Amino acid sequence: MTEFGFIDKLGEIFATIGSQHGFEGIGDDCAVLPLTGGDTLVFTTDMLVEDVHFLREATSPYDLGRKSLAVNLSDVAAMGAKPIATLSSISVPKELMGEWLNDFMRGYRDLSAEHSVALIGGDTTGSKSGKFTINVTAIGRCPQSCLKRRAAAKVGDAIYVTGSLGGSGAGLKDILDGKFDTELAMLHKNPTPRIAEGEWLGAQSSVNAMMDISDGIGSDLRHILKLSNVGAEVELRSIPIYNELVTLEQALSAGEDYELLFTASSDFDPLSAPFAVTAIGKITAGEGIKWLSDGTATTLEFRGFNHY
């Protein structure tokens, strides 16, 4: 069973339980709860596990604290919402109780303060395995009219990404090669969630579908396509690659860039965005991704990160 096969199954077997509470649940970057009065709350949770998501010797506790929050705030931004609060649950080996954990929480606190996000609860337990784990739940809020769902892409939309891609993936390669402090490794260890960008894009009625890029667009764009029942053409020459040290494969499939991937109608003017936005393709009738190189169809082997 794959990660996404498991998630699809969860959606099926839990589909009707608790449906009276009015949540839109599994499948998007966040679950959605409409409030009376026109606003919406969104909820998401993401876990960082030692040796799966990070190597303790390769990262400072401060950066890890920031990243564990950043990846969750990114999912809130991906809905067009503003993050307002988090809960954090940690499993901590005894030898990290003290300076290490203080530095970790300082990183978490600094990023919380930068975005005025309250810490409202969590849980603290020991760890018999000697490994550190953190799970964060983030809550966001926005007007219902600003919500951007993965399922909302329309045939004819242009496909855009914020910022540039592949820097984090190339940084992970540096880390695995034992180079922990390169510019690219720092990008991987301390990603910037696109909070203001997500809120700004949420307010644009011409923006249709949106998600954040955690697994690489080779995988993430397929979620938008599947849920929207559409296909896509993507021009490889248009992919904004972080720099010349980064490969196209890393830009498409290494993931953890935490940029925003969105589709928008022709009313959207990318030059009106107060941040970098690049058009990489268009939404088509049909299914799956058709890769183009200078307009000519080409096949690609790599797909994106999957845990199994």
Residue 50 as a binder of Mg ion (CB under 5 A): the answer is no
> Quick one: 41 or 260, whose CB is closer to Mg ion?
260
Query: Quick check: helix, strand or coil at residue 219?
Result: helix
Q: Contacts for 112-115 with beta carbons within 8 Å, 24 or more apart?
A: 112/69, 112/86, 115/73, 115/83, 115/195
Closest distance of CB 80 from ligand ADP, Å: 14
If contact means CB under 5 to 8 A according to the sort of partner, which of Mg ion, ligand ADP, none does residue 203 touch? none
Q: How many CB atoms lie within 10 A of CB 266?
A: 9
75 lies in the binding site for Mg ion (CB under 5 A)? yes
28 to 57: interface string for ligand ADP, x by CB under 6 A = xx----------------x-----------
Which of these ranges, 22-30, 111-119, 158-166, 173-181, lies near ligand ADP under the rule CB under 6 A? Answer: 22-30
DSSP 78-107: TTT-EEEEEEEEEEE-GGGTTHHHHHHHHH
Please report how close the Cβ of residue 289 comes to ligand ADP at its closest, in angstroms: 17
For the bound state, the minimum distance from the C-beta of residue 29 to ligand ADP, rounded and expressed in Å, comes to 4
In this complex, which beta carbon is closest to ligand ADP, that of residue 96 or of residue 211? 211
DSSP 8-class letter at 231: E
259 binds Mg ion (CB under 5 A): no
Work out whether 27 is an interface residue with ligand ADP (CB under 6 A).
yes
Place of tokens 């964060």: 136
HSE value, Cβ hemisphere, 13 Å, CA-based, for 42: 27
Backbone angles phi, psi at 128, to 5 degrees: -80, -20
Whose tokens are 């799966």? That residue is 52
210 token code pair: 């949106």
Q: Exactly one of 5, 15, 26, 287 binds ligand ADP (CB under 6 A); which one?
A: 26
Give me the least distance between CB of 110 and Mg ion, in Å please: 23
Q: Residue with CB nearest Mg ion?
A: 29
Is 256 one of the binding residues for ligand ADP (CB under 6 A)? no
Among 50, 63, 75, 174, binds ligand ADP (CB under 6 A): 75
> What burial letters (b/e) apply to 102-115, b meaning 16+ CB within 10 Å?
ebbbebbeebbeeb
Contact status: 212 vs Mg ion (CB under 5 A): yes
d(CA 175, CA 169): 10
Paired with 187 in beta bridges are none
> 150 by DSSP, 3-state: which?
helix
Amino acid in position 17: I
Q: Using CB under 6 A, which of the segments 23-31, 32-40, 120-128, 235-243 binds ligand ADP?
A: 23-31
Beta strand 288-293 with 231-235: parallel, antiparallel or unpaired? Answer: parallel
- Whichever of 27 and 122 has its CB closer to ligand ADP, that residue is 27
For position 15 contacting ligand ADP by CB under 6 A, the verdict is no
Report the partner that residue 199 touches, choosing among ligand ADP, Mg ion, none (CB closer than 5 to 8 A by kind).
Answer: none
> Please, what is the minimum distance in Å from the beta carbon of residue 7 to ligand ADP?
4
10 touching ligand ADP, by CB under 6 A: yes
Q: Coil, strand, or helix at residue 223?
A: helix
Q: List residues near Mg ion by CB under 5 A.
A: 29, 75, 212, 214
Q: List residues near ligand ADP by CB under 6 A.
A: 7, 10, 26-29, 46, 75, 214
